[in-house]
Amino acid sequence: MLAPAPPPERDPVEVWGRAATAVALLAVDPGGLGGLWLKARVGPARERLMAVLPGLLAPTPAARLPLTLTDEQLFGGVDLAATLAAGAVVRSRGVLGNGPRALVVPMAERLTGGLAARLAQVLDAGQGHCVVALDEGAEADERLPQTVADRLALHVDLSGLALADCPDLEIDPDLIAAARARLPAVRLPADAVETVVRVAHRLGIASLRAPLLALAAARASAALDGEPVVTEDDLICAVELVLAPRATMLPAEPEEAPEPEAEEPPPPPEPETGDDTPEPDADEDNVPDMLPEEVLLEAARAILPADLLAKLAAGKAPRVTGASAGTGAAKKGNRRGRPLPSRPGRLDGQSRIDLVATLRAAAPWQVIRRRLTPDAPQKVLIRAEDIRLRRFEEKSDRLLIFAVDASGSAAFTRLAEAKGAVELLLGEAYARRDYVALVAFRGDHAEVLLPPTRSLVQTKRRLAGLPGGGGTPLAAGLRSALDLADLSRGRGLTPSIALLTDGRANIALDGRADRPTAAEDARRMALAVRATATPALVIDMSPRPQSQLRDLAGEMNATYLPLPRADAGRLSAAVAGALVP
DSSP string, 152-175: --EEEE-TT--GGG-PPP---HHH
Co-location of 442 and 467 in the same domain = yes
Q: Is 76 domain-assigned?
A: no
Residue 318: predicted pLDDT: 36
Co-location of 462 and 511 in the same domain = yes
Co-location of 562 and 417 in the same domain = yes
Instruction: Please tell me the distance from the alpha carbon of residue 402 to that of residue 418, in angstroms, as a whole number.
Output: 8
Domains in the chain, number: 4
Co-location of 219 and 239 in the same domain = yes
Domain range holding 205? 176-248+288-307
Cα dist. 60→108, 171, 219 in Å?
Answer: 21, 17, 20
Co-location of 406 and 371 in the same domain = no
Instruction: Please tell me the distance from the alpha carbon of residue 353 to that of residue 368, in angstroms, as a whole number.
Output: 24
Tell the burial category of 256 from Cβ atoms under 10 Å away from its Cβ (0-12, 13-18, 19+). exposed
Co-location of 298 and 366 in the same domain = no
Q: Is 89 domain-assigned?
A: no
Q: Is 508 domain-assigned?
A: yes
Pairing of strands 338-344, 388-395: antiparallel
- Select from 307, 341, 358 the last residue of a domain: 307
**Between vectors from CA 138 to CA 136 and to CA 141, what angle results, nearest 5°?**
105
Q: Is 60 domain-assigned?
A: yes
Pairing of strands 330-333, 445-453: unpaired
The total number of residues shown for the chain amounts to: 581
> Any bridge partners for residue 62, and if so which?
102
Contact 48, 165 (CB under 8 A): no
Contacts 24+ apart (CB under 8 A), 79-86: 80/356, 80/359, 80/360, 80/363, 83/363, 83/364, 83/366, 84/359, 84/363, 84/366, 84/380
The stretches in the chain having pLDDT less than 70 are: 1-10, 81, 84, 138-142, 250-292, 299, 301-338, 348-350, 393-396, 408-433, 456, 458-460, 462-469, 503, 543, 563-581
Q: Is 213 domain-assigned?
A: yes
pTM of whole model > 0.75?
no
Among 255, 249, 258, 182, which residue's Cα sits nearest to residue 29? 182
Residue 264: predicted pLDDT: 53
Q: Is 85 domain-assigned?
A: no
Co-location of 452 and 498 in the same domain = yes
Co-location of 432 and 569 in the same domain = yes
Cα dist. 189→221, 228, 290, 426, 528 in Å?
Answer: 14, 11, 8, 53, 56
Residue 211 sits in a domain whose CATH number is 1.10.8.80
Contact 500, 420 (CB under 8 A): no
Instruction: Please tell me the distance from the alpha carbon of residue 483 to that of residue 485, in angstroms, as a whole number.
Output: 5
Co-location of 24 and 154 in the same domain = yes
Q: Is 415 domain-assigned?
A: yes
Contacts 24+ apart (CB under 8 A), 509-517: 509/473, 509/475, 509/476, 509/479, 511/444, 511/445, 511/473, 513/471
Residue 142 sits in a domain whose CATH number is 3.40.50.300
Contact 538, 561 (CB under 8 A): yes
Q: Is 268 domain-assigned?
A: no
For residue 2, give every residue at least 6 positions away whose Cβ sits within 8 Å of its Cβ, in sequence order, or none.
Answer: none
Contact 513, 471 (CB under 8 A): yes
Residue 472 sits in a domain whose CATH number is 3.40.50.410
Co-location of 471 and 496 in the same domain = yes
Co-location of 167 and 181 in the same domain = no
Co-location of 420 and 546 in the same domain = yes
Is 37 in a helix, a strand, or coil? strand
